[in-house]
Structure 1
């Protein structure tokens, strides 16, 4: 029995004629163009792209999106480095389901991510290079609704973006801070300048509103409802599709499969779901038509993992990609990215998140580390 036959028997997957179009049109558009709503969450303020293409503060749900304007030097850092033969997306995701189902719960669902925002051009022409700003967020979501949940943040400072930027920075004397001319005073810097520094900021830890709801693109689930989500993949998929239908997006319609891909990805990363529900969610992902394995890829920190991707091509030829990166040995999600490009051209905008931790734990909540 091949992987697809197994999936169809265990999941009641949609028929092969269902088209794979890009899901998180809303999520990607919000990350790339700011033109569509992003799932709300009562966790910290994040970065997103405004309509004008600049980075602005916004209340963004879930994993922090690292928003970076793409440029040719990004080729130094990422991309597919090899193809993994017969390791299909379905095989990888079913292995992830098995791994997730074997986990044990703890007091908190702990997700720690690093966002990379930029780039910011510094230096004097022609010896210029790009910097990116790194910030960390750690969410500690209590399994018991009566317990307090926490969120921690820390600015990790600026650093050269690509390997080429690292070389240019070294040749410039490896400065640790930069003063940029701006219209007014920013961050306590002298009026008319903004100071960028490599020094990490102070960590913060704050309680989270216990009334927080999750998966708001699907109408929202409170913590009790999350604990009661179906552990059967077919039933979980049916529930998610019913919520999508209530929001006006029915199974088989344009964008339904890719919306489902994004919603399930959010469930896996942002939601304190029990291990059996997470196993079912990975199985749902495996049964979505159009999900592809793209081989070994690198995240924003240069770590290698297995890329699982869902693409959408608009009538005008604009290609949007939503990618998950899984650890090749543990099958834990270690990163997520969004990109948009015109055909085969380099991405116009790119968003990444590095997942430092996504686990159940009894550890005491604390701010993200300074490194």
Structure 2
């Protein structure tokens, strides 16, 4: 079964602390220093040399707004932002997916309480617009994962990948790339629909940045459009806002329930904690 068949199968299934800012700044400055390592400044007076160095640093910081940025850099910038942007608080984790159909926009919603109870609206096979109790657990690599387990995931990118790779797997709920050891799908799920803590989301963005072949197709509404290889010729087109560390939309959405949603254009996704009861 190829990846497109696998997606179809899955579809059918019922403001910042100073310490975090300092770490982000140090990482960016370290990358800038490495990029300038082979350059030599002319011999100047100490005051002039200091001014020139400051000018180089300022230029390096502000140029990326107009200069081309790699897909890896977009993900690393999102990692730096995610580190100090909390998910918020509330009673229910609320996920909304929207996409275009011939009759206009269509949407699905779900609300999940911390004790695992879940309600949904417009899920497949449900009565349109009605909110129903829908006991679909969160999943990662096909395995059930709860709020406490998400909060206990490692905040180091390499250790996070090791933990994910060691999760019990359910092959019937995974794409072939996942079954072969790939981690792109679960990492994307961690940064899109799951209620992942800020530090873990940061680690997931950073781990995703190591994926070979990630490309930036350029700025679009809502962020930067990234092309991320999934398996073979299949790739995910995903719009990431590196400043808010949010995935605005994607052509393949790997859902919190372990499924996948596929669109010829885009599926938009928003997540939030809320105290508002589903109705």
- TM-score bucket of the superposed structures, by smaller chain: 0.5 to 0.7
| Alignment check: 8 A CA contact 2:249 2:266 kept | yes
Q: Which runs of 5+ in 2 are unaligned?
A: 15-64, 254-262
| Alignment check: 8 A CA contact 2:238 2:250 kept | yes
The CA distance in 2 between the partners of 1:268 and 1:205, in whole Å, is 26
Match of 1:86 among 55, 64, 68: 68
Structure 1 counterpart SS, 2:139:
coil
Alpha-carbon shift at residue 94 of structure 1 (Å):
1.8
Match of 2:150 among 209, 220, 226: 226
Once the two structures are superposed, the pairs formed by residues 212-291 of structure 1 within 5 Å of their partners are 212-215=137-140, 217-243=141-167, 255=177, 259-291=182-214
Match of 1:98 among 80, 96, 110: 80
The CA distance in 2 between the partners of 1:132 and 1:332, in whole Å, is 28
| Alignment check: 8 A CA contact 1:258 1:310 kept | no
The 1:106/1:218 distance shift into structure 2, 3 A limit, reads: same
The CA distance in 2 between the partners of 1:148 and 1:86, in whole Å, is 45
Aligned to 1:22: none
| Alignment check: 8 A CA contact 2:110 2:121 kept | yes
Alignment of 1:138 with 2:120, yes or no, is no
Alpha-carbon shift at residue 322 of structure 1 (Å):
0.8
Total equivalences in the alignment? 210
Per-residue CA deviation, residues 194-222 of structure 1 (Å, 9 max, x unaligned), is xxxxxxx973323342x71412x343323
Q: What is the Cα-based RMSD across aligned positions, in Å?
A: 3.5
* Bigger strand share: 1
Alpha-carbon shift at residue 225 of structure 1 (Å):
1.9
| Alignment check: 8 A CA contact 1:109 1:272 kept | yes
The CA distance in 2 between the partners of 1:207 and 1:313, in whole Å, is 35
Aligned to 2:244: 330
| Alignment check: 8 A CA contact 1:154 1:204 kept | no
Q: Which runs of 5+ in 1 are unaligned?
A: 1-24, 39-47, 49-57, 61-82, 118-130, 156-200, 249-253, 298-302, 340-348
| Alignment check: 8 A CA contact 1:103 1:275 kept | yes
Once the two structures are superposed, the pairs formed by residues 59-70 of structure 1 within 5 Å of their partners are 59=13
TM-score (norm 1): 0.48
Alpha-carbon shift at residue 305 of structure 1 (Å):
2.8
Aligned to 1:111: 95
The 1:235/1:106 distance shift into structure 2, 3 A limit, reads: same
The CA distance in 1 between the partners of 2:109 and 2:162, in whole Å, is 31
The 1:279/1:313 distance shift into structure 2, 3 A limit, reads: closer
Alpha-carbon shift at residue 325 of structure 1 (Å):
0.6
Structure 2 counterpart SS, 1:358:
strand
| Alignment check: 8 A CA contact 2:82 2:244 kept | no
Match of 1:203 among 129, 134, 141: 129
Aligned to 1:16: none
* Bigger helix share: 2
Per-residue CA deviation, residues 44-81 of structure 1 (Å, 9 max, x unaligned), is xxxx4xxxxxxxxx226xxxxxxxxxxxxxxxxxxxxx
Per-residue CA deviation, residues 267-311 of structure 1 (Å, 9 max, x unaligned), is 2222222222111111111122221211124xxxxx453111123
Alignment of 1:364 with 2:271, yes or no, is no
Alpha-carbon shift at residue 354 of structure 1 (Å):
1.3
Match of 1:152 among 102, 118, 121: 121
Alpha-carbon shift at residue 258 of structure 1 (Å):
9.0
Alpha-carbon shift at residue 91 of structure 1 (Å):
1.8
Alpha-carbon shift at residue 312 of structure 1 (Å):
5.9
The 1:205/1:85 distance shift into structure 2, 3 A limit, reads: same
Structure 2 counterpart SS, 1:230:
coil
The 1:258/1:132 distance shift into structure 2, 3 A limit, reads: farther
Alpha-carbon shift at residue 362 of structure 1 (Å):
3.3
TM-score (norm 2): 0.62
